[in-house]
Amino acid sequence: MIYMRIPILKLHNYLLISIQTEIDDNTAIQFQEDLLNKIHQSGSSGVVIDLTSVDIIDSFIAKVLGDVVTMSDLMGAKVVLTGIQPAVAMTLIDLGIHMKNVPTALDLEQGLIKLYQELGE
Amino acid sequence: MIYMRIPILKLHNYLLISIQTEIDDNTAIQFQEDLLNKIHQSGSSGVVIDLTSVDIIDSFIAKVLGDVVTMSDLMGAKVVLTGIQPAVAMTLIDLGIHMKNVPTALDLEQGLIKLYQELGE
């Protein structure tokens, strides 16, 4: 079975992820596992997940995304979400995934600036 | 038909790509097209392609990689390759893809530093 793996880039103390394809359920689950492992391995203090190229998400992917933010936080890594499009924002709120306390930003650059601020580094 | 698209991250004036899965021929061709389009759109002056997670490459992928470096250069964007593993280096040289004048570095951070130096920014 063919499934994708979303690349996770390590840059200094942060992890950068850009989701640019429509992802299926297996890819989302794999991503969750990969990200948590990478946080553990690398000891990263911050994560930027860029959703600029994501037009729509379904309830399952939205749930996984909400979970991965909470899980990363639990592990001590701050997550910033960037580039959330209108339809994605609507889906998240409709599903009750409020991403409270999750900083957001317009794009990757702004997301990194937000991390610097949040982490006071 | 399912094929992957390799995400291309834009950070300031540079594009960052990390290839972390075994890629098939279609994905490689799609990547070539996507990267050249993204250079054109974004007016990026530098590109870092990180191959840390690539254990082996076949001759087709090696050729596409060699081509994409030359093509990017032609468009005015400097490419730095990072994290080339022994087997990948051997394949490239065996195939006569010498990547002359292509700067390389150990990892993404070092690759970005190399770009700063090469571009004098």
* ipTM value: 0.83
Mutate which of B6, B11, B37 to test chain A, going by most A C-beta atoms within 10 A?
Answer: B11
Distance, CA of B75 to CA of B99 (rounded, Å): 17
pLDDT digits (tens), chain B, 121 positions: 456 789 999 999 999 999 987 889 999 999 999 999 999 999 999 999 999 989 999 999 999 999 999 999 999 999 999 999 999 999 999 998 888 888 999 999 999 999 999 898 6
Contact A12 B109 (CB under 8 A): yes
Residues 49-108 of B with CB under 8 A from A: 50, 53, 107-108
For A75-118, strand residue ranges (E) read 78-82, 104-105
Q: Which residue, among A1, A3, A4, would best test binding to B if mutated, counting the most B CBs under 10 Å from its CB?
A: A4
Q: How far apart are alpha carbons B59 and A90 in whole angstroms? A: 46
